[in-house]
Chains A and B, each alone.
Chain A
Amino acid sequence: MMRCGWAVLAAAAIAFCVFAAPVGAQSGPGAAPIFQPGAPGQPSRQISREESLELGQSRYVAADVRFMQHMIVHHNQAVEMGDLVAGRTENPSVIGMAERIALTQASEMDMMRTWLTRRGESTAMDMSDHAHMDHGEMDHSDMDHSAMDHAAMGHGSDHEALSDVPLMPGMLSPRQMAELAAASGEGFDRLYLTGMIHHHQGAIDMVNALLAEPGAAEDPEMSGFVSDVITDQTTEIMRMRAMLAELG
């Protein structure tokens, strides 16, 4: 059982005083029994209503919070890439894809911010996490680290200098973003699609890294969200590869 802080007790007290929860027939004598089964072949045990409710207290871990904070930053770049589409290409497939991705990622960013806020967590990414992130959470064998120069990884000031180092793996570097902004026509299409495939793969890698953390992604909303990230972004990568092939 998790520790119960004073505030939650106070909050519960407020709830019970103000809203006077009814005590139904189910909690009285003759109430229906509540069981928690064991694994197949193992015995079940009868539990109280309180124990049942404790079992429903799904938890989240620090890795979940870091993941959400990082993913907001990561998603934001997809929105920024989408903002570059107007005036730079007339390819309807690219325009449509960019619009869809920007909308989806913006909507997911809202969801992630709310998830964090509801849990009293900051929505901002802790920049001091970087060392940890690069060497631990994000050190994924199938990721492309060639562009990474950890020693040169700057915070802030390097961005103006058009660094080749992205803010985090799976994002475009400031230089790549500048190149995209400078491109137009088919050149833009190609850079956008290539960049977004890389970007999406970065999100998938982030999910895989999260899933490797003990106890991560057990919160049912997290569980559903990360599953959707994998499914949707895999699909979009496939579509964008096909679009790239059509460009020749």
Chain B
Amino acid sequence: MIKRFKTSTSILVLAGLMAACSPASEEGAEETTTAAEAVPQTREGLAPGLWDAEEASSNMQLVHHVRTPEAFAQPNALWAPAVERALWQAMAAGEEVERPPSPISFANTDLAFTGNRVVMGNWHGFNVFETSADAAPELILSVVCPGGQGDVSVHGNLVFRSVEDNRGRLDCGTGGVEGDVSDERFRGVQIFDISDLSNPRQVAAVQTCRGSHTHTLVPDPSDEGVLYIYNSATSGVRAGEELDICSSGQPDENPETALYSIDVIRVDLSAPETAEIVNRPRIFADRETGEINGLWMGGALEEGGQESAVTNHCHDINVYPELGIAAGACSGNGILLDISDPANPSRISEMSDPNFAYWHAAIFNNAGDKIVFTDEWGGGLGARCRPEDPENWGANVIANITEDGLERQSYYKIPGNQTAVENCVAHNGNLVPVPGRDIMVQAWYSGGISVIDFTDSANPVEIAWFDRGPLSPDELYLGGYWSAYWHNGQIYGPEIVRGLDVLQLTPSEHLTENELAAANLIRFEEANPQLQESFQWPNEPVVARAYLDQLRRGDTDGALLDTVDAAIAAWEGGNAADAASAAAALSAAGEAASGADRARLVALAGVLAEAG
């Protein structure tokens, strides 16, 4: 998520642009768009606008758009040109005017899902929406607690939230925090209980040395009553006088430095108010010398290459508890962690990359043998998808997990046809649960949403996208999608300025109806950013059909596939008698095949064997 201003362009980054500057919007706060047919099929030259920007898409469509709640929108729309001009004129004339709020104060951030609820984080607090099958998500609760970034997770009725701003206060107020040391300041992970919507409460506030930029929930594999939180903190270290566990400096001067670690917080779900830091593991330590700053120390890996950040923190840690592993995107490195003992994560391997400026996020494929890492070059605040921007900078790296460690196979970046007024770089996403394929949906800020197939990790291919024009024709504002997550058949995209979007993939040459239907079978009661659960498809004919469609794209013997097709058709009609023999034939073909099709043949054989 957003980090660092430094390499942004001369344009100051601004969020905001809220309700009052709406050009001619007649509708209420919620509006629904369904027509996808009329939109153009190119991302180039999309008309700007706050509420009426031109939209374009390919193989996906916007089904609902819910505006940012009004309590989280700036009434005086500081950064709307007309208002802004009036303010400037008044200031220039020496008038006493109320100082405008910082535009980033109301930016929407990450999403988390529980039951039929979606929690959307915001610099200003968080909002809870209720979803239903056909209607737009409906706002049911707003909680105000100023202090960004406001990334959220949810577990049952507990909402977890990251705070790193200096102005964050324990009491969720804005009375100001006096001095560099204050017992009123809060920087860390908050826990709210929203079981009573008419009385949500803050139950815990775990203070950390560098605040909380993002965090990851990690269920305890042996105790349902315990949840760990990996806290990723990227900012400066607080004064020891404010929080006595904290001190800064380089390891040679201060071995106790709060740099070069992450925080592990333990939450007893029966008493969340007792949540506390239980470990600050040195996961970047040199394996041989034990020096805690054992990974990338900053600078370019090769001449003319990108300057990579120093590895003294992680930005995101993506956990896959069922496999006991985590992928850390840790500023100057991508790392693989063993988290089988979640309180004591330890590093298995690491990689660096000459084209990565800032390792930002990571996600495994379902099998857990590949990782997509993202590079937030420019911090999310810069226009980095222009034609002149290098196509391997600010991109994804797709790596295989091999016996020799992490090995880069390819880069992926959306086409470089975004404008200079659109902040754009690789950002957050998750997997689309199509059996037999590795597919990821991902946000690119104002570059929109992109869906890629990385089954062949050396050759990722984009299969769908959605994009809007910029917020303004001539100024860059912080906007676009913070993240894009597949959840129970829909794609949810929190738009930093405009609100919450719900989209759907549509069948295409890249994705058949059967593949989509099979993906829709995967349902999770709860889903959180950076917390991965495996997909287990039920044994249904449509899953078999999804594999069959995939095999039809390859060079498997057509006659065999016709036979299998007939067997699946019979199964759909209630007669699975031919399934076993089809399964045997598929197994045999699988032994002769290789790559993804081999895996599909074996998987399809398994589905049919069980059906028979």
Q: Which residues of A contact B (CB under 8 A)?
A: 2-8, 10-12, 14-16, 18-27, 31-44, 47, 49-50, 52-53, 55-60, 92, 96, 100, 103-104, 107-108, 110-111, 114-115, 118-120, 207-208, 211-215, 217-228, 230-232, 234-236, 238-239, 242
Contact = CB atoms under 8 A, between A and B. Distances in A.
Interface stretch (B170-178, B400-408, B520-528): B170-178
Contact of B67 (A24, A50, A92, A221): A24
A16 to B, nearest CB: 6
Given A14-B83, A42-B202, A238-B297, A8 B70 contact: no
Given A8-B76, A219-B102, A239-B299, 20 more contacts: A2-B99, A7-B87, A15-B21, A19-B20, A21-B21, A32-B142, A36-B145, A37-B172, A42-B171, A47-B144, A57-B98, A107-B7, A110-B11, A115-B12, A118-B100, A220-B102, A223-B167, A224-B235, A231-B4, A232-B6
Contacts of B142: 32-35, 52
A219 B148 CA distance: 11
Interface in B6-40: 6-14, 19-30
B9 A218 contact: no
A158 B569 CA distance: 92
Contact of A44 (B10, B199, B205): B199
Interface string B136-152: 00111111111010000
Contact of A25 (B29, B124, B177, B273): B29
B203 A40 contact: yes
Contacts of A56: 72, 74, 101, 105-106, 124, 144, 146, 174
B173 A55 contact: yes
B560 interface: no
A19 B22 contact: yes
Interface in B57-75: 67, 69-75
B198 interface: yes
* Interface of A: prevailing SS: helix
B192 interface: yes
B298 interface: yes
A107 B170 CA distance: 34
Nearest to A214: B178
A136 to B, nearest CB: 14
B90 interface: yes
Interface residues of B, number: 108
B172 A36 contact: yes
16 contacts: A7-B89, A7-B97, A24-B67, A25-B30, A32-B138, A34-B71, A40-B203, A49-B71, A56-B72, A58-B102, A107-B6, A114-B11, A118-B100, A213-B179, A223-B165, A224-B2
Nearest to B206: A40
A24 B20 CA distance: 12
A108 B140 CA distance: 41
Contact of B105 (A35, A50, A58, A212): A58
Contacts of B28: 22-25
Contacts of A234: 250
A231 B23 CA distance: 41
Contacts of B128: 32
B200 A35 contact: yes
Looking at A6, A7, A10, the one whose CB has the most chain B CB atoms below 10 A away is A7
Contacts of A33: 141-142, 197-198
B91 interface: yes
Contacts of A120: 87-88, 90-92, 97, 99
Interface stretch (B303-311, B507-515, B570-578): B303-311
Contacts of A38: 171-172, 201-202
Contacts of A32: 69, 127-128, 138-142
A220 B104 contact: yes
A19 B100 CA distance: 19
Interface string B250-289: 1000000000000000000000010000000000000000
A4 B98 contact: yes
A108 B6 contact: yes
Contacts of A20: 22, 24
Contacts of A219: 102, 167
Contacts of A3: 96, 98
A231 B311 CA distance: 11
Given A6-B95, A104-B7, A107-B9, A22 B83 contact: no
Given A19-B22, A35-B143, A213-B179, A8 B97 contact: yes
Interface string B552-587: 000000000000000000000000000000000000
A238 to B, nearest CB: 7
A221 B128 CA distance: 26
A42 B71 CA distance: 22
Give the one of B21, B91, B202 with max A CB within 10 A.
Answer: B202
B145 A12 contact: no
A43 B24 CA distance: 41
Contacts of B74: 53, 56
Contacts of A14: 82-83, 86
- Top 5 closest pairs, chain A to chain B, by CB: A24-B29, A120-B91, A7-B90, A114-B12, A218-B167
Nearest to A23: B28
Contacts of B171: 38-39, 42
Given A34-B71, A52-B144, A214-B179, A19 B21 contact: yes
A93 B69 CA distance: 50
Given A107-B7, A228-B6, A44 B201 contact: yes
Contacts of B138: 32
Given A11-B76, A33-B198, A55-B124, A26 B144 contact: no
B236 interface: yes
A220 B123 CA distance: 9
A42 B170 CA distance: 10
Given A36-B172, A55-B124, A217-B166, A22 B204 contact: no
Contacts of A16: 20
B22 A211 contact: no
A50 B543 CA distance: 51
Given A107-B6, A108-B5, A223-B165, A19 B71 contact: no
Contacts of B67: 24
Nearest to A119: B99
B304 to A, nearest CB: 9
Most buried by B among A14, A92, A104, A227: A227
A35 B144 contact: yes
A24 to B, nearest CB: 2
Contacts of A230: 236
